Structure 1
Amino acid sequence: MSQSAFITPPLIGRAGELARLTGVLERARGGEARAVLVAGDAGVGKTRLLDEVAGRAARAGTTVVTGHCVDLGDVGLPYLPFTEVLGVLAADERFSAVLAAHPVADRLLGAGADPARDPDGRLRLFEGIAGLLADLATVAPVLLVLEDLHWADQSSRDLLRFLLSRGVLHRPGPGAPDRRLAVLASYRADDLHRRHPLRPLLAELVRLPAVERLELRPLPDAEVTRLVRALRERPLPEATVRGIVARAEGNAFYAEELVAAAGAEADGVPSGLADLLLIRVEQLSETAQQVLRTAAVAGRRVGHALLCEAAGLPEDELESALREAVGRQLLVPGEGGTYTFRHALTREAVYADLLPGERTRLHGSYARLLAARGRTAETAAERAHHYRESHDLPEALTASLDAADHAQRLGAPAEELRHLETVLELWPSVAPDARPALAGVDPVTLTLRASAAAAHAGDSHRAVSLTRAALAGVSQDADSALAARIRYTLAGNLLTVDQLKAAFRYSSEALALIPAEPPSRTWVWAAATHVMAAIHLGEAETALRIAHRALGVAEELGASDAQADLLISLAILEGGGRRSAQGQERLRRARELARSVGHGPVEMRALFNQAISRFEAGDLDACLPLLAEALERARRTGLLSSTYPLGMRYLQLLVMYTLGRWDECLGAAAEAEAALPAAGTFATGPALYVAVARGDLTAAERAHALADGPFDWMGTLVAGIVRTDAAALLGDPEAAVERMREALTALRDDSGRRPDVGVRLAALCLAAVADRAAELRGSGDERELRRWTDTATALVEQARASAADDKEGRPQGPEGQAWLARAEAEWATAVSGPDPAAWEKTVAAFGFGDAYEQARCRLRYAQALAAVGRRTEALECAREAHKTAAALGAVPLLERIDTLIRATPSPGGNTVSPLTAREREVLRLLALGRSNRQIGEELFITGKTASVHVSNILAKLGATSRTEAVAIAHRRGLLTPEPTGSG
């Protein structure tokens, strides 16, 4: 892999641990010596965390020394990590005086006898090292890092015991300069078997008052996802990201290895990682390795009794082998007499190392053993897997069908789909007389069932392809009801992927295949689907006519599910739409009808429309509890990943974002990440809105990844909003307009109508365009100014057209009207300058509950007020925006507000300084003629940091030199004269 493709990521997911360790360093700098024992499995990120802490400590002026323990088997070198530390100190002339004062340390550098052979010499050595560290600490705070203690030799363990229990940590007088020491020592928790020599030492050390233990647990999936995305300059496909996250199980090193191998060995364990994992397996006895291989064939978890039968070992030999594997922490005992591989990748590596014949034989054994215990539904999936891997295809087909039925009963559509696809794959390879002879078990019906499972699992594109396959497989003389059912199912699936004209065509064909008389459920559902397709395509008259007719037939037949679906469509179509009282009543009734007959998908459609109607009406507080109830209902019915619940998940996070409950939004998004399929990643999109607003502009790249793979309308919408807003925040109007146009082109459906989001995207672009026009207004470049004012006019016209009406032809709700008000105010700013009245109207328009956008508009309102000399009102308005921005953590907005407040003259006529408090301190020293180094020494910062502050001061004051900056500061009253002495 090229260096440009795989990059070193920032430290991710360890904010709490990092804060704890930096807190220890702060206390040590104050003279309170501390030690932390950092535990974690191999690859979990101990070294990366310690490197980050060490880097920060070094930048703060702490002396950092690191020693590494190395696995040298039984021939360990005594004091190896401490020898490394002393070698580093000896090579640095700054420490020569301290080392000279402690000649006993020369023994570890090869200049003296081995202290291990002389007990008194050993004690003098220990005291000498403690004294050396204490003396170093008087010069500057010291951080001693010891890595991989699980490999430490006995002498090093003894010296560490002395230092932490009797040495420098316990010198009298907390706060003394010789106690400015922190010790961070790491070890692998998964290497500490019961007889490991480090275990008793750790138990002794953690009881000491100045020693604490920090365990690095596996990273949450959301953080591993961030890590995986940060490792590549170009985004990986979302499905690949999710696969890596699932397999890495929170281990940062495993994730990095899997990312490095992505595309080359995506279905296996990367060879380097496999070798590393198998090293620990090969340290077991041959019997224990055999048991581990047998367990690997069973899967991640296996019961004791089943493993015993499959391994064919006497009970005592099996128990001995298991004890060995558990002691080495390769297997973990669980409830119900089960054993689990500590990490799934270890199991994968062991399984991949099996010989083909050995693998087939063991799978066959497991299949027969499970079947002998009874062909229960609970074991169907296991049996299907083992039969297939042992090449018994007839049994695999039957068991897979049983497993699909079981998954359907449990409300697990993704698993049902997987088993049905296995059945369809095996079908041609199994002789007809060996297939299950059951009604409805044929390729076309099974394919249609699989398409429903895919739709319920949230994989809309897979649902479409499966329904097309069913249509292709149906014969010309097939039952017309089945042919119609396939077509209206295909039409419904096409609607979810925004192929509106194709959906309308297939629903028309379905309706034509079935006569309206005599009344039938098939005709009613074909009609209900055609009504939905007509609504999406803007054929309101057709939709209304068929909906009323079909509703009467549904009531006559007692088809409550179809009746509910038609009521939802009529709520959207008639009267004031779903926001009206009539619409709300129809949605409530539809919801009750669908629930009464257990039709989950229609119930989800009713719930979604109830929630979105409250959002459109600006009633956000009523929206959230409704969404919470709906999503819980979706979870219980196994439909959480289907189309409408995904939309409700997005809406839930959007409401939290809009109400300014950003941390709650991020928390809910993190919880949803693991549960959502790759097709549903748009649902957590509002978390990206938060990221951009808080200054994380890498969110734009993460949003761009939503466009990978098959087209997804909502994913494209989220990406368009995030990328346009990020470009506008960066002050790049060209990029903002380009991102907006890309999004609108992609979002325009085949009915030709503008997407409603056009007003929001236009307003976001207009902010950057207005700022550019303001910059150009006094430059004299009239041609360039005209270009941007023309762009602003085109954008506001787009906003007006988008906000004129929604898809049903009615005016947009409070949100759309607020975005239109902002677009109008930004346009006025661009073409003629800030208009306080327009911005006052905009602030009020966002009062329906959008805290962040209201704060952004308050800033623009304050700028407009300041521009016309209304300084008191401007400062009051800016401070109100500041409160909201600070509460939200919206850093870019805060910075712009601070800039305005500093630059706006107060009512008394004095100018508020544009400089921060630290910059004012630097300016004072600049006026006294101090150099950067001298400034750094006086303010206890580095010379480089002082230089950065000086550069900021020059930029803010518009000065080209230090002398000019001081002169400008004097003229503007930013410098207080130095007091003179009295003689």
Structure 2
Amino acid sequence: MLGGVETRSVSPVFVGRADELAVLVDALARAADQEPQALLLGGEAGVGKTRLTEEFLGEAARRGAVVAVGGCVEIGAEGLPFAPFSTALRTLLRLLPGELAAAAAGQEDELARILPELGETPRGPHDEESTARLFELTARMLERLAADRTVVLVLEDLHWADTSTRHLLAYLFRTLARGRLVLVATYRADDIHRRHPLRPLLAELDRLRTVQRIELARFNRGEVRRQLAGILASQPDEAFVDSVFERSDGNAFFVEELVASHESGCRTGLTESLRDLLLVRVEVLPDAAQRVVRIVAEGGSTVEYPLLLAVSRLGEDELIEALRAAVGANILLATADGDGYRFRHSLVREAVSDDLLPGERARVNRRYAEAVEDDETLLRAEERIIRLANYWYAANDPAKALPAILAASVTARRRHAYSEQLSLLERAMDLWDSVPDDVRDELRPADYTEVYPPCGCDPATTPLQRVDLLAEATVAARYGGDRERALKLTKLALRILDEDGGDPLRAAWFWTERSRLIANLGRGDGWQEIATAQELVKGLPPSQVHADVLVRVAGWGMLHNPGPGNLAAAQRAVEYARMIGAEETELNARITHGCLLMDSGDGPNGLAALHEVKDRAIALGFTVVAGRAHINITSQLESMGRSREAVELAEQGVELVRRARLLDTEAWVRGNMAESLYSLGRWDEAAEAARHTLRVGHGAAPRGSASARLAYLALARGELAEAAAQLAAAHAHFGTHDSQPQHRIPLFRLAIGVAEGEGRLADVRAETAQAIAYGFPLGQHRYAWPLLLASATAEADARGLPGTEEGRAAALEALRDAARTLATPAPLWTAHSEYLRAELLRAEGRDTVDDWTAVEAAVSPLGRPYLLARARHRLAEALLGSGGDRETAAGLLRDAHATADRLGSRRLREDLALLAQRARLPLTPDEAHPAAPAPDTDPIEALGLTSRERDVLRLVATGSTNRRIAEELFISPKTASVHVSNILAKLGVASRGEAAALAHRLRLFAALAPRP
């Protein structure tokens, strides 16, 4: 309405900032090449961030880019969830309605949480992945929207951003991978104190190479002079330049304010007090204009004209005249859409707001609240609820504020803004005791909570209690990623319940939450807490809480201590859920029951039950349950050796949960797929599936499993350093407080493999002993058999080496005893049993061709190429060692070598090549058939080592240090070090341990023994 009013304090000439503008324009050019750009623009208040942004946006518009700006809203402590994104997306919807609708197609209901114009916001679902799903959908929508056009998105005043906005911005900065998109965020650097919530985000973004950070400095004297010349349209007096520069200290906004005060005759404007400087031009306005300015200062970052008319209680003509004066004085500006007004600079608004008396501020906020309550059309629905809560709170009216704040928390939850929901709920709890009883008695849990812990009462008629808010806040904290806060809330709730005489169902609910949180935080396995909950519900009538407790008890047992007792607990959980008609809970319990059936040996019935649950969950739309069913079925299929079926089902599961954006569920399914692909010899695909798991997974457990899968691959390929690194990563992900067999036993197996590869037999034995002492519960045979086999293979490979005989008999006996406790419910594990038996005999020098023929026959039909190649290697070795059929041995070696070559297993390839070299057998069909080996042939000639290097390798293989090698060979330690480095390079290994291990594994120790 008043956008054309003249202002004279802003320079029409863009001063300085040429380098910074060049960086922004360069980002625009890079984005045009489908390379998304992310920039942070910081500087103190008034230094010129807005002017630089305006110049950049003007240039972007001239180049044909679509521009959208959204500002963070400083209103109350919580702000409006996703406010800058909502504003910017609303602009894009207005400019590109068809294109944005197409980009959001199929996900309108979810994206409506950020842009309500897309449709009705659904009530759920809510879980720990809800926010991540919303962020992923937002990122993909922006990428699609910017696929064919350059889109510039500017988010201003990030220092005021709500938590959800900060998290979404960080997500976009990390994950945007394509599209012609430029994302710029500005913030006030002088506001970022040590505890400011933006500070950790800035530190995190600084570590991203894809994010550019621009910090604006103050103007120097020459730049201030040019700014003054632009404002005054003439060259300024040098004394005036000195005065302004000294008092403004180069701050562009202060320069403008000083000039405006000087030009209007307000000589007091040249004051040392910043507050006085900012208020001086307000105080010379007409009374009505001053009144309007003070009202706008309390309304938020922007105040809509109809709302301002209602709150000011001025006639429309009088209001317009007051606004004209404020805009003419360059204090207020009309918004771009002409629907409202804001301060030209937030510093002025803050100064005006701070100048209000407490009673005056409360009265203004009350008027805002009353106006918004009386007329729902004054504000958009999603803003109305949040702002009403803040207005009533600032009006110091607890009776009005409490229900308004609770309503705002519901809105925040529906937008998946769980951090804001938590802040609102905590504010409500702070007000709780200040609100009259009759007001609290009118509040109902059904209106304000979704996580109401059942207590045998009707949530639609029972008065809301503070403990109900604690339950809602606990889950909001967990969904928002603040598990520490959630844990503290459960502690507070349980103390309140104990003081009030106890409510066993509510207490059981909080203990169940504590169990989950304790496990997730790595503080323990959660059993003590869930056992407490189980004790609390004993003897009580069936309820949702009772069923949930039993499901968690059975699930805990399945993961930590599978056995008949947990099978009974799972059956009870199914029955309880069925009694209360909670089918989703029942299906979850049936998944646990089916898995325990399979672990107990009833594979066919257990698998059929799991498939039935999966199909039922899909039919009912219970995607979370369906995803869990896919996780467990694919895992059980792999345990049965049915890897191809597991991969096929995993592919279906990935598609199902990917559409629902269940990221951790997708990570689990992909992790299971990686395991089965590894078994099938599709190693490149397995590696990609594991890496994808690390990209999409948020939970520690699926990420730990993915790292373990990558470690298995590296170990099989002979990449020991990579295997050790991935093993360390898996340990870090899993932690030490929640030791589940399905996680712990594979890590023992990997540690054994790394130690064996580095020639550390003592560590192999130590890890094996720890694993056996840890135990192999029911259903863990799939991890135990490979572990025992790896340990037996290490013993066999080390046979005859110096210092390895002592303790071998005991180690082999321990392996045999452990194997007797393991089940062989499928041909795969029968084959492992046969393989282990043969390796134990090889470790004693008693293996025969018949032993390895039986192993090869057992492994051959399993469809596991790597396992088969290793078995054929041993059978060929046995044939050649016993003077058996050389043609058969040659065929076995060629087949195994081709497999090793295809898989990229350098280690197995080297083993096979050396055996073929010793036996003078061809590894390819077209290779000439060599003669039988001469008795005195040196098997390490092909390694290319000099005579001196052979001597050094002999000593390295016995564990000698460089100093010991120097003493033995009468050379200097430095020369010994050079020889060791050359040996490592020729052998293609990274360490002395690997060199020694290679020499041992390839049976070079005989050739390296001292000659007479």
- TM, length-normalised to structure 2: 0.49
8 Å contact from structure 1 (residues 773, 831) kept in 2: yes
Distance 1:589 1:454 in 2: 35
Task: Report the more deviating stretch, 457-466 or 814-823.
Answer: 457-466
- In the TM superposition, residue 615 of structure 1 has moved relative to its aligned partner by 1.6
- In the TM superposition, residue 654 of structure 1 has moved relative to its aligned partner by 0.9
8 Å contact from structure 1 (residues 703, 718) kept in 2: no
| Amino acid of the structure 1 residue aligned with 2:643 | L
> Which residue in 2 is equivalent to 1:703?
727
- In the TM superposition, residue 813 of structure 1 has moved relative to its aligned partner by 3.9
Distance 1:463 1:814 in 2: 47
> Which residue in 1 is equivalent to 2:892?
877
Match of 1:658 among 679, 688, 694: 679
8 Å contact from structure 1 (residues 560, 594) kept in 2: no
> Which residue in 1 is equivalent to 2:594?
571
> Which residue in 1 is equivalent to 2:850?
837
State the aligned residue count: 630
Task: Report the more deviating stretch, 708-717 or 870-879.
Answer: 708-717
> Which residue in 2 is equivalent to 1:510?
536
> Which residue in 2 is equivalent to 1:684?
706
8 Å contact from structure 2 (residues 597, 603) kept in 1: no
| Amino acid of the structure 2 residue aligned with 1:764 | A
Q: SS in structure 2 opposite 1:474? A: helix
| Amino acid of the structure 1 residue aligned with 2:882 | V
Pair 1:553–1:308, CA change in 2 (3 A):
closer
Distance 1:735 1:768 in 2: 11
Distance 2:515 2:981 in 1: 66
Match of 2:505 among 481, 504, 508: 481
Distance 1:495 1:636 in 2: 28
8 Å contact from structure 1 (residues 697, 726) kept in 2: yes
> Which residue in 2 is equivalent to 1:797?
817
> Which residue in 1 is equivalent to 2:128?
none
- In the TM superposition, residue 289 of structure 1 has moved relative to its aligned partner by 9.7
Match of 2:636 among 607, 613, 625: 613
> Which residue in 1 is equivalent to 2:696?
675
8 Å contact from structure 2 (residues 413, 421) kept in 1: no
Question: What's the CA shift string for 1:105-141, capped at 9, x where partnerless?
Answer: xxxxxxxxxxxxxxxxxxxxxxxxxxxxxxxxxxxxx
Distance 2:476 2:810 in 1: 51
8 Å contact from structure 1 (residues 800, 820) kept in 2: no
Question: What's the CA shift string for 1:580-614, capped at 9, x where partnerless?
Answer: 33323322333344455555554444333322222
Distance 2:694 2:349 in 1: 37
> Which residue in 2 is equivalent to 1:627?
650
> Which residue in 1 is equivalent to 2:284?
none
8 Å contact from structure 2 (residues 727, 750) kept in 1: yes
8 Å contact from structure 1 (residues 495, 533) kept in 2: no
Distance 1:281 1:392 in 2: 44
Question: What's the CA shift string for 1:195-246, capped at 9, x where partnerless?
Answer: xxxxxxxxxxxxxxxxxxxxxxxxxx9xxxxxxxxxxxxxxxxxxxx99999
1:459-608 to structure 2, matched below 5 A, reads 467=490, 470-475=493-498, 476-490=500-514, 499=525, 501-502=527-528, 505-512=531-538, 514-516=539-541, 519-533=542-556, 542-543=565-566, 551-552=574-575, 554-574=577-597, 580-595=603-618, 599-608=622-631
| Amino acid of the structure 2 residue aligned with 1:858 | R
Match of 1:735 among 763, 766, 769: 763
> Which residue in 2 is equivalent to 1:121?
none
Distance 2:711 2:430 in 1: 47
| Amino acid of the structure 1 residue aligned with 2:813 | T
Question: What's the CA shift string for 1:6-40, capped at 9, x where partnerless?
Answer: xxxxxxxxxxxxxxxxxxxxxxxxxxxxxxxxx99
Structure 1 position 788 matched with structure 2 position 808: yes
> Which residue in 1 is equivalent to 2:754?
726
Distance 1:682 1:813 in 2: 27
| Amino acid of the structure 1 residue aligned with 2:890 | L
Distance 1:621 1:795 in 2: 30
Pair 1:829–1:650, CA change in 2 (3 A):
same
| Amino acid of the structure 1 residue aligned with 2:841 | A
Question: What's the CA shift string for 1:869-928, capped at 9, x where partnerless?
Answer: 3333333222212112211222222222222222223376334998999988999xxxxx
Pair 1:945–1:791, CA change in 2 (3 A):
closer
Q: SS in structure 2 opposite 1:677? A: coil
> Which residue in 2 is equivalent to 1:826?
839
Pair 1:272–1:529, CA change in 2 (3 A):
closer
8 Å contact from structure 1 (residues 579, 614) kept in 2: no
Pair 1:725–1:422, CA change in 2 (3 A):
farther
Structure 1 position 770 matched with structure 2 position 784: no
Distance 1:799 1:590 in 2: 34
- In the TM superposition, residue 830 of structure 1 has moved relative to its aligned partner by 0.9
8 Å contact from structure 1 (residues 707, 715) kept in 2: no
> Which residue in 2 is equivalent to 1:175?
none
- In the TM superposition, residue 456 of structure 1 has moved relative to its aligned partner by 7.3
| Amino acid of the structure 2 residue aligned with 1:616 | S
Q: SS in structure 1 opposite 2:759? A: coil
Question: What's the CA shift string for 1:376-417, capped at 9, x where partnerless?
Answer: 55999999999999x99999999997787567657x6xx63x
1:86-101 to structure 2, matched below 5 A, reads none
Pair 1:356–1:477, CA change in 2 (3 A):
farther
8 Å contact from structure 2 (residues 515, 529) kept in 1: yes
Question: What's the CA shift string for 1:548-597, capped at 9, x where partnerless?
Answer: 56645544543322332343344345589686333233223333444555
> Which residue in 1 is equivalent to 2:881?
867
Question: What's the CA shift string for 1:352-384, capped at 9, x where partnerless?
Answer: xx99979999xx9xx999x99846559999999
- TM, length-normalised to structure 1: 0.50
| Amino acid of the structure 2 residue aligned with 1:728 | E
> Unaligned 5+ residue runs, structure 1?
1-38, 45-189, 195-220, 222-241, 252-260, 292-305, 319-335, 337-353, 806-810, 924-942, 957-967, 969-983
Question: What's the CA shift string for 1:230-264, capped at 9, x where partnerless?
Answer: xxxxxxxxxxxx9999977899xxxxxxxxx9xxx
Pair 1:544–1:671, CA change in 2 (3 A):
closer
> Which residue in 2 is equivalent to 1:853?
867
Pair 1:701–1:905, CA change in 2 (3 A):
same
Pair 1:272–1:594, CA change in 2 (3 A):
closer
| Amino acid of the structure 2 residue aligned with 1:515 | L
Q: SS in structure 2 opposite 1:698? A: helix
State the Cα RMSD in Å. Answer: 6.4
8 Å contact from structure 2 (residues 631, 672) kept in 1: no
Distance 1:952 1:522 in 2: 62
| Amino acid of the structure 2 residue aligned with 1:669 | A
Distance 2:408 2:351 in 1: 26
| Amino acid of the structure 1 residue aligned with 2:817 | E
| Amino acid of the structure 2 residue aligned with 1:869 | G
- In the TM superposition, residue 657 of structure 1 has moved relative to its aligned partner by 1.8
Distance 1:408 1:592 in 2: 30
1:854-933 to structure 2, matched below 5 A, reads 854-870=868-884, 871-906=886-921, 909-911=931-933
Distance 1:738 1:732 in 2: 10
| Amino acid of the structure 1 residue aligned with 2:630 | L
8 Å contact from structure 1 (residues 770, 830) kept in 2: yes
- Greater relative contact order (Cα < 8 A, sep 6+): 2
Pair 1:41–1:735, CA change in 2 (3 A):
farther
Question: What's the CA shift string for 1:412-432, capped at 9, x where partnerless?
Answer: 6xx63x445444655565565
Pair 1:898–1:501, CA change in 2 (3 A):
same
Task: Report the more deviating stretch, 611-620 or 858-867.
Answer: 858-867
8 Å contact from structure 2 (residues 218, 252) kept in 1: no
> Which residue in 2 is equivalent to 1:977?
none
- In the TM superposition, residue 868 of structure 1 has moved relative to its aligned partner by 1.9
Distance 1:727 1:641 in 2: 32
Identity among equivalent pairs (%): 19
| Amino acid of the structure 2 residue aligned with 1:701 | A
Pair 1:309–1:479, CA change in 2 (3 A):
closer
8 Å contact from structure 1 (residues 564, 590) kept in 2: yes
Pair 1:884–1:279, CA change in 2 (3 A):
same
8 Å contact from structure 1 (residues 393, 426) kept in 2: no
Match of 1:761 among 787, 791, 797: 787
Distance 1:244 1:915 in 2: 58
